[in-house]
């Protein structure tokens, strides 16, 4: 069984000192998908030359906040580094308690905030 099928997207949260390496092929794939230029992809979605912007909670800007699993909104065109993860046979977030403890509270808060927003809209 592939755990990724049931994962809330642990690897989609940026930890301090880490970043997602975005390659030129990834930018081009996104541009074709969104039907915009490579430069526009860089302007809208890139934090710097090599990585995506992130939300306030550190999650990828393309991660859906309102789903428990399969949260990547660009899964079919996701970056190469995302496609290759995990780089070993097993997920490091499941094997290293320090990684999981850094990410799990953010995942839970993100999902709870989304649930509350849907359950109790500000402007009924």
Q: Could you tell me which residues are beta bridge partners of residue 72?
A: 63
Q: Which pLDDT value is given to residue 76?
A: 92
Q: Which pLDDT value is given to residue 123?
A: 60
What 3-state DSSP class applies to 13? Answer: strand
Q: What is the mean pLDDT of residues 65-93?
A: 83
Q: Which pLDDT value is given to residue 22?
A: 93
Q: What is the mean pLDDT of residues 98-106?
A: 86
Q: Which pLDDT value is given to residue 67?
A: 73
User: pLDDT averaged over the chain?
Assistant: 85
- 80 pLDDT exceeds 60? yes
Residue 108: CB partners within 8 Å, gap ≥ 6?
Answer: none
Q: Which pLDDT value is given to residue 1?
A: 42
């Amino acid at each position: 069984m592939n755990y990724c099928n049931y994962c809330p997207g642990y690897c989609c949260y940026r930890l301090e000192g880490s970043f997602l390496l975005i390659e030129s092929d990834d930018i081009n794939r996104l541009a074709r998908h969104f039907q915009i230029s490579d430069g526009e992809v860089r302007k809208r979605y890139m934090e710097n030359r090599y990585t995506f912007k992130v939300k306030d909670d550190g999650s990828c800007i393309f991660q859906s906040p309102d789903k428990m699993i399969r949260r990547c909104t660009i899964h079919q065109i996701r970056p190469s580094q995302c496609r290759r993860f995990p780089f070993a046979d097993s997920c490091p977030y499941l094997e290293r308690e320090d990684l999981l403890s850094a990410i799990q509270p953010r995942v839970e808060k993100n999902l709870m905030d989304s649930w509350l927003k849907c359950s109790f809209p500000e402007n009924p």
